[in-house]
Amino acid sequence: MNQSRYPLLIDGEALQSAIDDPDILVVDLSRAPVYLQQHIPGAVNLEIGMLMAGQPPIMGLLPETSYLERLLGALGANANTHIVAYDEEANAKACRLLWTLDCLGHRNASLLDGGLQAWVADDRPISAEAPTITATDYRAHPVSEVMADKAFIQAELGGIQIVDARTPAEYEGVDKRAQRPGHIPGAINVEWTQAIDRSRQMRLRPFDELRQLYQDAGLDPSRETVVHCQTHQRSSHSYFVLKLLGFTHLRGYPGSWSDWGNDPDTPIETGPANRTS
């Protein structure tokens, strides 16, 4: 696949300049009512639930490749399409799409920094008109190395870095969202929202601040790293940020705590992080 002309993180100015590029497909992960009210001109809508499968109580699983191929084909994407993702909140939903694309071996993709909030705040053009979509025959080339499952984590526990992107209350076991609260032993809690600058319409914090955030947490970019939250939506954002920072062995854990915390046999810790600064 050809090297992309566009960066992994794209700002509004650059996207607006490239919006007429026929190789770009802008995908809006906002809720349908928001999309119908306002979206980037030409953007297609994809609600987050379409990207997740579930076997309750385990949610947030990666759907079958054949299903995802049909889904992306229905959006008009092909192997050479450069997909730019955004949503109306803090871009966690958009990042779940970007992680899914990594799983499918689709390398040409970007996140719109700040998503819809930054786009609107900058007074860029918006539309309420849904574009006409020409469906394609999308073919994936799955990459297993960007996904972790429970068996992988159990086998590698102690040798991998685990980033828990949930809130401290979830991590400590105070906020119970599964049969068993707490965290994976040795996991490092870096809540995903720490990477976001709310004063700049949900854009990411500057790179040097992001590097310092994860460095202070004790993370090594060269080590195998697994990220998770409750269903790997919030942690997809952390996955994207770590990828942006150059973490080279990075995996997302679909199912996340809804998988681990609902298994009676997985090891679990509770209480605050035991970390020295």
The CA distance from 4 to 76, in Å, is 18
| pLDDT more than 70, % of the chain | 97
CB 83 within 8 A of CB 101: yes
Q: Average the pLDDT over 136-151 and give the result.
A: 97
Domains and CATH numbers, the chain: 9-142 (3.40.250.10), 147-260 (3.40.250.10)
* Per-residue confidence band for 3, with pLDDT thresholds at 50, 70 and 90: low
Residues 6 or more apart in contact with residue 232 via CB below 8 angstroms: 60, 96, 99, 252, 253, 254, 255, 256
Query: What mean pLDDT do residues 171-196 have?
Result: 98
- Average predicted confidence (pLDDT) for the chain: 96
User: What confidence tier does 273 reach under pLDDT thresholds 50, 70, 90?
Assistant: confident
103 in catalytic set: no
Which of 62, 116, 148, 229 is an active site residue? 229
pLDDT at 277 over 90: no
Q: What b/e string do you get for 213-226 counting C-beta neighbours within 10 Å, with b at 16 or more?
A: bbeebebebeebbb
Residue range 98-111: mean pLDDT, rounded: 97
State residue 272's pLDDT score.
87
